Amino acid sequence: MTKKLFLASWFAGSASLLPAFAGQNLTGKKVIFIPTAGLYEMPEEYREGLDFINNADREALKNLGFAVEDLDISSEPAEAIEKIISGADALFVCGGNSFFLMQELKRKKADVMIARHIRQGKLYMGTSAGSVIMQKDIIDDGIDDPVFGSALNGDFSGLRFIDFYVYVHYGHHYFGNDDECLDKYYANLNHIKIADNQAVTVDGEKIEVVTAPESEIPEFPMS
């Protein structure tokens, strides 16, 4: 099966690596930007940081020449979602809460639409949660209390396009200690660790970790 996946920890920190992987002129290509994972209720201090991350990703896509169109899966009807996704050259799924994201994808059957897009050989890109949903399931360091995915009813299956787990934000982890999280949740799992300037690329059966200079990771604004 043809797969073209660019699975980033934080896309803005690794965006310079995409053109070589994509192998095509990206100027004018329509990318559907899906911010749904970051649109759940959260404390304001988290909102500011997540919005900064996702806005930086949107700007990085524009800087690469993409024509960016936003699509919130949670608020659009399924018929409109299918039309938008089917007309896309590429999909980009933002970071946030992977349980809420998967809940909304399944509720609108957008997981099936995204899978169809990938099987057609079209480019898929993700940041953080957008990368995690490519796993066989979304077991990650939020599994103890997946509050925002309650409608999943314990079904944490992902889209199953990769047979390993992606540990994102390595070295820049936002919610705890890397070693503790890895020992608790990933010790017995086949996993790949990626920092905010790295991505896992999947081109058919070829899997590679690519790395940009750390200087490309955007600096958070001082509050």
List residues with catalytic annotation: 128, 169
17-39 per-residue burial string, b: 16 or more CB within 10 A, e: under 16: bbeebbeeebeebebbbbbbbbb
| Euclidean distance between CA atoms 131 and 146, whole angstroms | 17
Quick check: 126 and 133 in contact, CB under 8 A? yes
Using left for φ > 0, alpha for ψ between -120 and 50, and beta otherwise, residue 69 falls in beta
Asked if 50 and 38 count as a contact pair (C-beta separation under 8 A), the reply is yes
Q: C-alpha distances in angstroms, 216 versus 22, 35, 144, 221?
A: 19, 22, 33, 15
For 175, the 3-state DSSP assignment is: coil
| Token pair recorded at residue 33 | 């930007």
Contact between residue 96 and residue 123 where contact means Cβ atoms under 8 Å apart = no
Residue 7 corresponds to which amino acid? L
